Amino acid sequence: MMFKNFYKNKYNYKLSTITGLTLVELLVVISIFTIITGITIFNYGRFDSSVSTQNLADDIALTVRRAQGYAVGAHGINDVFNYGYGIHFGLDPSKSEYYGNNKSFILFTNINTSDSSYNYDGTSNSCGNPTLTNECLEVLSILSSDVISSITLTDNSGTVFPISLDSSFDILFKRPNPEPVFCYKSTATSNCNNAIYSVKIKLSSENNPDNLVNRYITISNTGQISVSIK
């Protein structure tokens, strides 16, 4: 509805002002509002996934740093203070979280020091009391929509190669060294390779398979740990 108001100024000229919106103007405003709202909601979903993936990356990096601190600081288990500590990763979603899969990772104590490969030994669905056959100290489950989507190794020559789905990967810190030992294990081989320069762990969101929300944790053979977006 149009409203017309008339008034006179000091020179007695009749002036008019027109207020209100036409139907076309109203439709334009509603359309702009709808577009802006849609963009905001769409970007909020991406933002929420990005925050979730970033939090997971920080949790993994801090857990790796915790294993490093336990080893260097001689954290004791059953009054023994010379054990190594590490993080165990797996990629196979069909595996139990106690063996490591794409929705969990494991903080372990290297009780079985006779195992020259220094791989994680886990043979039961329990955790918290490390033994020779079950070195699990803590299982950290990923409760969000995020997953560990790939693990890529770089050797000292600069060659980059991903580990396979049937493989697992361990980052072990042995007292008193702050530098890690990298070990990978598959159905075909088991190897602790001192020639590995660094490992890069890729995290993705199942809800938003967009490269913009991916996060990467890089651990070098010098003990440096970093989190990045690529």
- CA 151, CA 180: separation in Å to the nearest integer? 16
Q: Is residue 76 part of a domain?
A: yes
pLDDT confidence of residue 2: 44
pLDDT tens profile 109-158: 988 776 566 788 887 788 888 888 888 999 999 988 899 999 999 988 88
pLDDT tens profile 71-118: 888 777 776 777 889 999 989 998 888 888 999 999 999 887 765 667
- CA 19, CA 3: separation in Å to the nearest integer? 6
**What is the value of pTM for the model shown?**
0.74
Higher-confidence position of 123 and 217: 217
Q: What does pLDDT average to over the chain? A: 80
Q: Is residue 3 part of a domain?
A: no
pLDDT surpasses 70 at 24: yes
Mean pLDDT along residues 53-69: 92
Buried b / exposed e along 117-132 (16+ C-beta atoms within 10 A): bbbbbbeeeebeebbe
pLDDT confidence of residue 4: 47
pLDDT surpasses 70 at 14: no
Closest CA to 184 of 153, 206, 149, 158: 153
Q: Is residue 34 part of a domain?
A: no
Q: Is residue 107 part of a domain?
A: yes
Domain extent for 198 = 39-228
Tokens (6 digits) for 117: 């490969």
pLDDT confidence of residue 27: 78
- CA 57, CA 65: separation in Å to the nearest integer? 12
Distances (CA, A) of 106 to 6, 168, 169, 224: 79, 11, 11, 20
Q: Is residue 15 part of a domain?
A: no
pLDDT confidence of residue 35: 77
Please say whether the dihedral angle defined by the alpha carbons of residues 25, 26, 29 and 35, taken in this order, is positive or negative.
negative
When divided into structural domains, the chain yields a total of 1
Q: Which amino acid is at 2?
A: M
pLDDT surpasses 60 at 70: yes
CATH code assigned at 128: 3.55.40.10
Closest CA to 199 of 212, 181, 213: 181
Q: Is residue 127 part of a domain?
A: yes
pLDDT confidence of residue 176: 83
Q: Is residue 2 part of a domain?
A: no
Q: Is residue 188 part of a domain?
A: yes
- Number of H helices and number of E strands within the chain? 1, 13
